[in-house]
A and B are shown apart, each in its own frame.
Chain A
Amino acid sequence: MPGTLPVLNKEAVHQSLRTALALGCQVHPVSRFERKHYFYCDLPQGYQITQQASPIATGGSLLVEPPLHENQRQRAPRKRNASSPHPGLEGDDPEEAAWPPFRVRIARLQIEQDSGKSTHDSAGGRHTLVDLNRAGVALMEIVFEPELSSPSQAAACLRSLQATLRALDSCDGLMEEGSLRCDLNVSVRPAPPSPAFPPGPWGPRVEVKNLNSLKALQTAAAFEIQRQIALHDPGDASRAGMAGTEGGQDLSRFNGHFEFKSVERETRAFNAATGETTRMRGKEGAVDYRFFPEPDLPPLVLDMDWVEAVRRGLPELPQATRSRLVEEHGLTPAQAEVLIGEGEAAVGFFEDVVRGGGGREGRGVANWVCNDLIGLVKAKASAGKGGKGCAVVASPYTSSPALTGQAGASPTASYAVHPEAMGELIDMVSGGEISIRTGKEVLALMVAGGSEDEEGGGRGGEKRQRPREIVAARGWGQVSDETVLIGVARNVVRDPGSARQRRQYKEGKEKQMMKFFVGQAMKETGGRAHPGRMETLLRVELRKAEEEEMGGK
């Protein structure tokens, strides 16, 4: 609109700074803004304010790790959830050669203005709809050096970035909603006849715009590599894994007179429906952006004391958390990934539980949290969504003030289940007070209890029952009275209906038959007998019964 002026968003600078520091970038005390000009209907000013010549940060790197394969992820809770919390892994090419973790360097991190959002050819007609709601809003652009050499590396890089941004809470990372977007550059080059020779020159760079999912990125990269190889030599197109994105692997075959005659420097669009890229504009259509210093915004001068304060306030990054979880707490990589995937609060919750009681074993706690608690909380959240519009809960804490965390926990984060209660439950199971099965039921009640409290509004947490109270109230505690247990054992053993099993036990099928008797005893006690103890008592009773039988004869 005529007469309007831009004002720099302080929070955008803050979040960009946090991100830059977390990625190990060099933060520049003075950075400048520039205008980049082009005419398009979703660019209301006719230019975009960006940081072309002196961005807020340069350098730094991001650790890229190969994706975990299915066998490593067996116990992830995704089976319970309709929507996978880790999209994009499905697209991994199983054929692709494994690669070790590596760091990809970051060229720059800059603050710039978003454009509007154009929707082409909607409503069946040849219309373009423009949504200007996000136009002019600050965004952060991160440019990587051309060091990725395969579609899966590209996807892993983006996934790692996504996890980092989420850990920092500088971006929710939702690609489908456009809060994280991605442009891809692909070039290929001929492979040398042997590693002893230098590789051939890189072909022209082709840019693919606006990839809005990990899968789109990976598919587009794979398509673009194949397309470029095919342009060079149609015969090579079928040979997978020969070229790369950005820094790229090399073409497997060296052609003496290799020239990228037919690969053109161009900008392409990705069609998610077909998985193909289509031409947007070529080199001759390239725009002269006529960069020049933004006269409406003075240079951004950072107070380095503030920068240091921000650096000190940074949370731990996912990769550091992962190694800590694995090395300190003995978690499997899969467990660590699930916890990290659920966010900082989930990791905090886990650690609260582990620290809360002496000798709680990390892997066991993680099993409870990853396999049971997260699933229950999510199930409840999705039920709430359909019903009474309950707040979306994507991790073991809710945003409602149901139960405030203990001292040290963030005052806004409150848990669906208090870490102390969770710890108590785990202790009860490991201490033999209740069985694992009972424990799971108790946990379900604990989680369900939260919802009643939430609806009651506010300080309902006090009303919530501790696991021990639930167990006591329902009489679910394991029966420890020896006389009762002996009685149960006697009844089970002497039940006339099990005469056949007794005989088989005697005839040597001890192991199998013991399982049967324990099962019967459990049935009798409603699962409240300790299986090990019961087995001992049963053995005694079986021997007695045998002796009696023999004595009777």
Chain B
Amino acid sequence: MLLDVARSLVNAMQRRLLPSRALGNSRSRKRLRDGPRRPVDIRRAQHACPSSPSSPPGLQRRVTRTNYSTQSQQSAVSMVEIAAAIRKGNADPFSVMQRCLSRQQETSGLNSFVTVLRHAAEKEAAVAGRHSVMKGPLHGIPIAVKDNFCTAGVRTTASSRMLANFVPPYSATAVSRLEASGAIVVGKTNMDEFGMGSATLFSHFGKTINPWSQAAEKGDKPRLAAGGSSGGSAVAVATGSALAALGSDTGGSVRQPAAFCGLVGLKPTYGRVSRHGLIAYASSLDCPGVLTRTVADAALVLDVVAGRDPLDSTCLEQPHRPCFDRTMEAAASSRAAGLAVSLRGLKVGIPAEFAIQELEGSAVTAWEEGARLLRDAGADVLPVSVPSIPLALPTYFVIACAEASSNLARYDGIRFGFRGSKSLRASRSKEGIGSADTEEDDQRALHDFITASRSQGFGDEVQRRVISGCRVLSAQAYATYYEKALAARIRLRREMNTALSHVDVLLTPVTPTGPFPLTTPAEPAALMVNDVMTVPASLAGLPAIAVPVDLAPSSFVPGLPVPVGLQLIGRHLCEQQLLIVARALEVRCNFSERIPDYVVKATFT
């Protein structure tokens, strides 16, 4: 079974990820492994949408804008603005908290939280309101934390039955830093179990629903996925239950739900934010990230959580250069100030290989429009090539599963967490006392006990990935799968860095499609294809950000507008520059003013 998954993925990659529309420079015409590319001049590509068999006909972004741009302006209030208001005494942390908690209650039907810390959060907010001394830049800001970050004294489940009763005695570095800067944790958000999924579908605590699906007529329309695995965090911010959220991004788990819910999702450079206290999925890919309404919000939260940590040996030593600096503050202060920031001299790369067959028309349109807007801001837009992109997904799958199988080995039901119903004693007595070979019997009993705990404690998707991971690391398969994946990863990283030596940032779509209906797919690999745009930055350890740029009719639910995001990938540790470009894109798209009221206001109980 596991091999089938791996094989089908590899095949899928080779079959499906052929670039259908090349956005390459005609001079650097190259052939990909499996087929020819049609050269398209990037300058033309920015203006005209090349017809594509997969894009629905007659998609007009101008139409979508006029349709959905008349909504309330309330959603435009950003975390940075509220933080400033609290600092100036114009807002009270307690009332800010109450507003968030009531939003949480009103939207509890979306199932974004596993644990809500109503009383603790209210109490802390009241204390924060009484203090005249600001603890830090996030003083009194309600923040949601994905349930795979350890929080001292607060149940931390990673949405798994295995950890449904686990209360950590310590807090993750990222959480401690948020709290030290004055932020107040409102609750722990739902996710795919251990981060394994792209829809917040595989959770012991139920699915999380995208607030954008609300416009669908009740009953007959399918609910849309919030994305995953940080789906709960995304929905918490999208509904206003928190002003920002901590997520974790292994292969796109922050960027994809951000795009699905119309938010900014930032995955910093690998090692920029400590993983200490983050329940590991795939250690070499896991990266704490932030989900916010605006780019400036993300910059501010990043500044709080980033920086070296002696408790994480993979955390980078270089000091963090603040991203919410004067430039960002000025650019975020108003629309006019944002538009005034010039990107002159900046080079934006369009990697041709991201133009895969599955890419929806709306995503292509948004991509082209994004390129145009950045050019308007003064940037040069150039085609670049990252030939190994078709290998990214299978590579990611092999490495992530391998590391997951190892990281999840500690859940054996012996010391903490879920304990299988088959007790050690029972399986021991079954073997019979006093048999000749007790040592081996004891081993077997222990093995049975661990097997029972893991079979009952882990969900199907986790078991699939753990078994796949064990397989790719086994003596028979190591050279065929794991070693090849490592080699492919090195190649991809080199290519990405080469591309980024010619340009400052890469611009790509975040996902091939918009939010899909929340149904369990028949083919487990199908969901993974959703990560195809986001895994390259994860494998290369580069900073990347998803920025909401547009609304488009859902291709799954006719007539329903859904957000579309774009991804910017920056150079190693160049978050500052990445965020400036993201802000330039954000201000020109003016997305926040086009969010329908029902996403941020309506109740969903």
> Majority SS of interface residues in chain B?
loop
State whether the Cβ of A279 lies closer than 8 Å to any Cβ in chain B.
yes
Asked whether A296 lies within 8 Å of B283 as measured between CB atoms, the reply is yes
Tell me the bound Cα distance from A7 to B402 in angstroms.
Answer: 21
Asked whether A39 lies within 8 Å of B158 as measured between CB atoms, the reply is no
CB distance from B273 to the nearest CB of A (A): 13
In the bound complex, residues from chain A placing their C-beta under 8 Å from that of B440 are: 279-281, 285
In the bound complex, residues from chain B placing their C-beta under 8 Å from that of A46 are: 406, 408-412
In the bound complex, residues from chain B placing their C-beta under 8 Å from that of A295 are: 282-284, 314, 403
In the bound complex, residues from chain A placing their C-beta under 8 Å from that of B313 are: 5-8, 296-298
CB distance from B285 to the nearest CB of A (A): 8
In the bound complex, residues from chain A placing their C-beta under 8 Å from that of B433 are: 126
CB distance from A455 to the nearest CB of B (A): 43
Tell me the bound Cα distance from A3 to B166 in angstroms.
Answer: 12
State whether the Cβ of B437 lies closer than 8 Å to any Cβ in chain A.
yes
Interface string of A44-60 (1 = CB under 8 A from B): 11110000000000000
Asked whether B279 lies within 8 Å of A3 as measured between CB atoms, the reply is yes
Residue of B nearest to A130 (CB): B414
State whether the Cβ of B572 lies closer than 8 Å to any Cβ in chain A.
no
Tell me the bound Cα distance from A3 to B450 in angstroms.
Answer: 20
Asked whether A41 lies within 8 Å of B406 as measured between CB atoms, the reply is no
Asked whether A126 lies within 8 Å of B428 as measured between CB atoms, the reply is yes
Interface string of B404-440 (1 = CB under 8 A from A): 0110111110111100000000001000010001011
Given contacts A2-B158, A290-B474, A292-B482, contact A44 B415 (CB under 8 A): yes
In the bound complex, residues from chain A placing their C-beta under 8 Å from that of B405 are: 290
State whether the Cβ of B443 lies closer than 8 Å to any Cβ in chain A.
yes
CB distance from A41 to the nearest CB of B (A): 5
Tell me the bound Cα distance from A488 to B277 in angstroms.
Answer: 88
In the bound complex, residues from chain A placing their C-beta under 8 Å from that of B280 are: 2-3, 5, 296
State whether the Cβ of A35 lies closer than 8 Å to any Cβ in chain B.
yes
Chain A interface residue count, Cβ-Cβ cutoff 8 angstroms? 35
Asked whether B406 lies within 8 Å of A3 as measured between CB atoms, the reply is no
State whether the Cβ of B278 lies closer than 8 Å to any Cβ in chain A.
yes
State whether the Cβ of A255 lies closer than 8 Å to any Cβ in chain B.
no
State whether the Cβ of A128 lies closer than 8 Å to any Cβ in chain B.
yes
Asked whether A292 lies within 8 Å of B406 as measured between CB atoms, the reply is yes
Asked whether A5 lies within 8 Å of B406 as measured between CB atoms, the reply is no
Interface string of B249-287 (1 = CB under 8 A from A): 000000000000000000000000001111110111000
Asked whether A288 lies within 8 Å of B439 as measured between CB atoms, the reply is no
Tell me the bound Cα distance from A44 to B415 in angstroms.
Answer: 8
> Majority SS of interface residues in chain A?
loop
Asked whether A44 lies within 8 Å of B410 as measured between CB atoms, the reply is yes
Tell me the bound Cα distance from A93 to B440 in angstroms.
Answer: 34
Tell me the bound Cα distance from A7 to B274 in angstroms.
Answer: 13
Question: B277 is contacted by which of A3, A8, A126, A278 (Cβ under 8 Å)?
Answer: A3
Asked whether B414 lies within 8 Å of A41 as measured between CB atoms, the reply is yes
Tell me the bound Cα distance from A41 to B449 in angstroms.
Answer: 11
In the bound complex, residues from chain B placing their C-beta under 8 Å from that of A39 are: 409, 412, 446-447, 450
State whether the Cβ of B168 lies closer than 8 Å to any Cβ in chain A.
yes
In the bound complex, residues from chain B placing their C-beta under 8 Å from that of A1 are: 168, 410, 415-416
Tell me the bound Cα distance from A120 to B406 in angstroms.
Answer: 27
CB distance from B596 to the nearest CB of A (A): 38
In the bound complex, residues from chain A placing their C-beta under 8 Å from that of B437 are: 279
Asked whether A278 lies within 8 Å of B439 as measured between CB atoms, the reply is yes
Considering only residues 87-142 of chain A, those with a C-beta below 8 Å from chain B are 120, 126, 128, 132
Interface string of B169-208 (1 = CB under 8 A from A): 0101000000000000000000000000000000000000
In the bound complex, residues from chain A placing their C-beta under 8 Å from that of B409 are: 37, 39, 45-47
Asked whether B482 lies within 8 Å of A298 as measured between CB atoms, the reply is no
Residue of A nearest to B415 (CB): A44
Given contacts A279-B439, A285-B440, contact A35 B406 (CB under 8 A): yes
In the bound complex, residues from chain A placing their C-beta under 8 Å from that of B275 are: 5
Asked whether A5 lies within 8 Å of B482 as measured between CB atoms, the reply is no
Tell me the bound Cα distance from A281 to B156 in angstroms.
Answer: 38
Residue of A nearest to B149 (CB): A3
In the bound complex, residues from chain A placing their C-beta under 8 Å from that of B168 are: 1-3
State whether the Cβ of A269 lies closer than 8 Å to any Cβ in chain B.
yes
Tell me the bound Cα distance from A292 to B403 in angstroms.
Answer: 9
Tell me the bound Cα distance from A434 to B311 in angstroms.
Answer: 65
Considering only residues 362-408 of chain B, those with a C-beta below 8 Å from chain A are 402-403, 405-406, 408
Tell me the bound Cα distance from A6 to B447 in angstroms.
Answer: 26
Tell me the bound Cα distance from A126 to B438 in angstroms.
Answer: 10
CB distance from B161 to the nearest CB of A (A): 14
In the bound complex, residues from chain B placing their C-beta under 8 Å from that of A297 are: 313-314
In the bound complex, residues from chain A placing their C-beta under 8 Å from that of B410 are: 1-2, 44-46
Tell me the bound Cα distance from A278 to B282 in angstroms.
Answer: 40
Asked whether A3 lies within 8 Å of B150 as measured between CB atoms, the reply is yes
State whether the Cβ of A40 lies closer than 8 Å to any Cβ in chain B.
yes
In the bound complex, residues from chain B placing their C-beta under 8 Å from that of A290 are: 405-406, 470, 473-475, 478
Considering only residues 270-305 of chain A, those with a C-beta below 8 Å from chain B are 278-281, 285, 288, 290-292, 295-298
Tell me the bound Cα distance from A66 to B442 in angstroms.
Answer: 41
Question: A292 is contacted by which of B166, B170, B447, B473 (Cβ under 8 Å)?
Answer: B473
Given contacts A3-B278, A3-B279, contact A37 B439 (CB under 8 A): no
Interface string of A394-407 (1 = CB under 8 A from B): 00000000000000
Tell me the bound Cα distance from A8 to B433 in angstroms.
Answer: 43
Considering only residues 1-38 of chain A, those with a C-beta below 8 Å from chain B are 1-8, 35, 37
Output the residue of A3, A39, A46 with the most chain B CB within 10 A.
Answer: A3
Tell me the bound Cα distance from A128 to B425 in angstroms.
Answer: 11
Tell me the bound Cα distance from A335 to B170 in angstroms.
Answer: 56
Tell me the bound Cα distance from A507 to B442 in angstroms.
Answer: 87
CB distance from B470 to the nearest CB of A (A): 6
Tell me the bound Cα distance from A473 to B437 in angstroms.
Answer: 73
In the bound complex, residues from chain B placing their C-beta under 8 Å from that of A45 are: 409-410
State whether the Cβ of B163 lies closer than 8 Å to any Cβ in chain A.
yes
State whether the Cβ of B310 lies closer than 8 Å to any Cβ in chain A.
yes
In the bound complex, residues from chain A placing their C-beta under 8 Å from that of B460 are: none
In the bound complex, residues from chain B placing their C-beta under 8 Å from that of A296 are: 280, 283, 312-314
Asked whether A5 lies within 8 Å of B473 as measured between CB atoms, the reply is no
Residue of A nearest to B428 (CB): A126
In the bound complex, residues from chain A placing their C-beta under 8 Å from that of B149 are: 3
Asked whether A3 lies within 8 Å of B276 as measured between CB atoms, the reply is yes
CB distance from B114 to the nearest CB of A (A): 15
CB distance from B168 to the nearest CB of A (A): 7
CB distance from A53 to the nearest CB of B (A): 12
Asked whether A7 lies within 8 Å of B310 as measured between CB atoms, the reply is yes
Considering only residues 310-327 of chain B, those with a C-beta below 8 Å from chain A are 310-314
Question: A37 is contacted by which of B148, B277, B279, B406 (Cβ under 8 Å)?
Answer: B406
CB distance from A522 to the nearest CB of B (A): 68
In the bound complex, residues from chain B placing their C-beta under 8 Å from that of A35 are: 406
Tell me the bound Cα distance from A431 to B512 in angstroms.
Answer: 99
CB distance from B315 to the nearest CB of A (A): 9
Asked whether A288 lies within 8 Å of B150 as measured between CB atoms, the reply is no
Tell me the bound Cα distance from A37 to B439 in angstroms.
Answer: 20
In the bound complex, residues from chain A placing their C-beta under 8 Å from that of B172 are: 3
Asked whether A269 lies within 8 Å of B447 as measured between CB atoms, the reply is no
Tell me the bound Cα distance from A64 to B313 in angstroms.
Answer: 39
CB distance from B204 to the nearest CB of A (A): 15
Tell me the bound Cα distance from A541 to B575 in angstroms.
Answer: 107
Given contacts A2-B163, A46-B406, A281-B440, contact A41 B446 (CB under 8 A): yes
Tell me the bound Cα distance from A40 to B156 in angstroms.
Answer: 25
| Apart from A285-B440, A290-B475, A297-B313: 20 A-B pairs, beta carbons within 8 A | A1-B168, A1-B416, A3-B148, A3-B277, A3-B279, A4-B277, A5-B312, A7-B310, A7-B312, A8-B313, A37-B473, A39-B450, A45-B409, A45-B410, A46-B411, A279-B437, A292-B482, A295-B282, A295-B284, A295-B314
17 contacts between A and B (CB under 8 A): A2-B410, A2-B416, A3-B172, A3-B277, A5-B276, A5-B280, A7-B311, A35-B406, A37-B406, A37-B409, A44-B410, A46-B410, A126-B428, A279-B440, A292-B403, A295-B284, A296-B313
What 8 pairs between A and B have smallest CB-CB spacing? Answer: A46-B409, A295-B283, A295-B284, A290-B473, A3-B277, A3-B150, A2-B279, A45-B410
